[in-house]
Amino acid sequence: MEIAATTSVSVAPQPPRPSNAFSRKPHSVSSLPLASFQRKHCVGNDKLRVSASSSLDAVVAAEKISPASLLDKRETGGVLHFVKYHGLGNDFILVDNRDSSEPKITQEQAAKLCDRNFGVGADGVIFAMPGVNGTDYAMRIFNSDGSEPEMCGNGVRCFARFIAKLENLQGKHSFTIHTGAGLIVPEIQDDGQAKVDMGIPVLKAQDVPTKLPGNKGEAVIQAELVVDGVSWNVTCVSMGNPHCITFGTKGGPNQKLKVDDLNLSEIGPKFEHHEMFPARTNTEFVEVLSRSHLKMRVWERGAGATLACGTGACAMVVAAVLEGRANRKCTVDLPGGPLEIEWKQEDNHIYMTGPAEAVFYGRALL
């Protein structure tokens, strides 16, 4: 695989956001206002070549292609155009796939693109696709291991910002997205953050799914799960994808988990592949700072340790409320930054608010 990349990176502590990087006019693109220094890398391999830049002008000048062709959806010669986004460090390759209901690349190609040494580097590839059943858009995602999850909370915020740029939407806007987890409704706020109606949490054990028997009706709340000989208290919640939330091992109500002390790469896979989770599971390890302030580390199914997980933050607040540890509205600290999560009693929906930022534009020769 050969990788050739040209990047323009701002070294300022707070780089400016991209402004109007896309236009509603067909095949019309303006550049990101980022410039400080450039880096070029080339790694030998015969299967993938990647060219990326945080300035579209740099790509145009270097490759002598017009802005009109840069984000042309009609790919030729195995070229994939993309935009790299992140939501609190949970990073994704966004692909404009609105002209087809089939992803432009395979799951195997997505896994190669997500490789941080031999590809672009990301936690997943997200496709913006035509709407289904009356929705405005559909979203599919391939994880960094090539698997396909039902949905991704941080990913849907990146998706919303991506659509806003593609459609040149200004100010406050909302739209409907069909996902494998059902209908999701994000709303771009005036400050650029995305507020997402994540729907109603699922608690019925067989629908999460988990083989743990329900201990509060059909829900699994503060149940015992033995992992590698250690008994953990867990609550299981689905936000359209499965989550196992733990506030610590068994040993008394006053025991408090210190998430920074966890060896996540060792314990995470043991939860993910536990026999009690037939579809595998995402796992959230939680430290309670106050009834409105929680701290979380996550091991994501198919992606491993990530800097943030939106569905995980939502599921975790549900678990904290059910276990009597927190209020319905909380700030959740993740390694990549905070999310605001609210589980509204009046409609039983979970609402997540947080940022999503464009990082750079790129082309991959597959």
Residues with catalytic roles: 152, 309
- In the structure encoding, which two tokens stand for residue 237, read together? 């919640």
Q: How far is CA 328 from the centre of its chain?
A: 23
- Among residues 271, 268, 315, 320, the alpha carbon closest in space to that of 294 is found at 320
Q: What is the C-alpha to C-alpha distance for residues 219 and 205, in angstroms, rounded to an integer?
A: 5
Q: What is the C-alpha to C-alpha distance for residues 246 and 252, in angstroms, rounded to an integer?
A: 14
The H or E element containing residue 314 is: helix 310-322
Q: How far is CA 3 from the centre of its chain?
A: 25
Q: Which residues of 67-82 are buried (b: 16+ CB within 10 A; e: fewer)?
A: beebbbeeeeeebbbb
- In the structure encoding, which two tokens stand for residue 329, read together? 């509205």
The neighbouring-strand residues paired with 343 are 350
Cis omega (within 30 of 0) on the bond before 103? no
- Among residues 230, 329, 328, 352, the alpha carbon closest in space to that of 285 is found at 230
The phi, psi pair for 101, rounded to 5°, reads: -90, 5
Q: What is the C-alpha to C-alpha distance for residues 328 and 346, in angstroms, rounded to an integer?
A: 11
Q: What is the C-alpha to C-alpha distance for residues 245 and 243, in angstroms, rounded to an integer?
A: 6
Q: What is the C-alpha to C-alpha distance for residues 330 and 315, in angstroms, rounded to an integer?
A: 12
Q: What is the C-alpha to C-alpha distance for residues 294 and 257, in angstroms, rounded to an integer?
A: 11
